[in-house]
Amino acid sequence: MKKILAVALSLVMLLAVSVPAFAVDIAKDGGTGEALVKTSTQNEDGEEAAGFTVSIPAENIIPWDSTETDFTYHITSQLAPAKAVSVEVKDADEVNQMTDVNGLTLPYWITNATATMTGPIVTDQACIFTINVDSTDGWDKAPVSEYSDTLLFTASIVDA
């Protein structure tokens, strides 16, 4: 089960450069006039077209005794030029401990916590982060139970 988190794009809205729709009149024999054809960065409903999607699995299962467990999420983006999506994964409460229902704890740390795309356009790019649990100070000291924690994914637009 994947929860698709569509992270709202926090772009600084440029003040729309509303070019006045003045007409160019040609009234001279042999005269010329220019019409500028240009795209808007908004779609026909007025919504900003630039955006991205980070798809994260709802649950990430760590097998008992696994010292390194990889988890994958996916990024799709179409941004302004020279921009890219960057995602950081961290413990929501920044304690880096999984806990069970009885309050028992199991420490862990995250590697490959940050993934930054190389350009504005990526399609379903797979990103891997790793949950690490030390065997001696972690698994061996923890009573067998179901330990869990909440991870916070933060996506931002950075310069590519």
Q: Which of 39, 118, 136, 150 binds another protein (CB under 8 A)?
A: 39
Rounded to a whole number of angstroms, the minimum distance from the CB of residue 152 to another protein is 27
Rg, the chain, Cα only: 24
User: How many of the other CB atoms lie within 10 Å of CB of 154?
Assistant: 12
Among 3, 12, 22, 94, binds another protein (CB under 8 A): 22
Q: The tokens 């729709």 sit on which residue?
A: 21
For residue 114, the minimal CB distance to another protein (Å) is 22
Please identify which residue in 3, 12, 13, 33 interacts with another protein, judged by CB under 8 A. 33
150 by DSSP, 3-state: which?
A: coil
Is the Cβ of residue 32 or residue 150 nearer to another protein in the bound state? 32
Choice from 1, 13, 34, 118 touching another protein (CB under 8 A): 34
Using left for φ > 0, alpha for ψ between -120 and 50, and beta otherwise, residue 101 falls in alpha
Question: Is 27 exposed, middle or buried (CB count within 10 Å of its CB: 0-12, 13-18, 19+)?
Answer: exposed
Residues 120-159 that bind another protein (CB under 8 A): 120-121
Applying CB under 8 A, the residues found at the interface with another protein are 19-44, 48-50, 78-83, 119-121
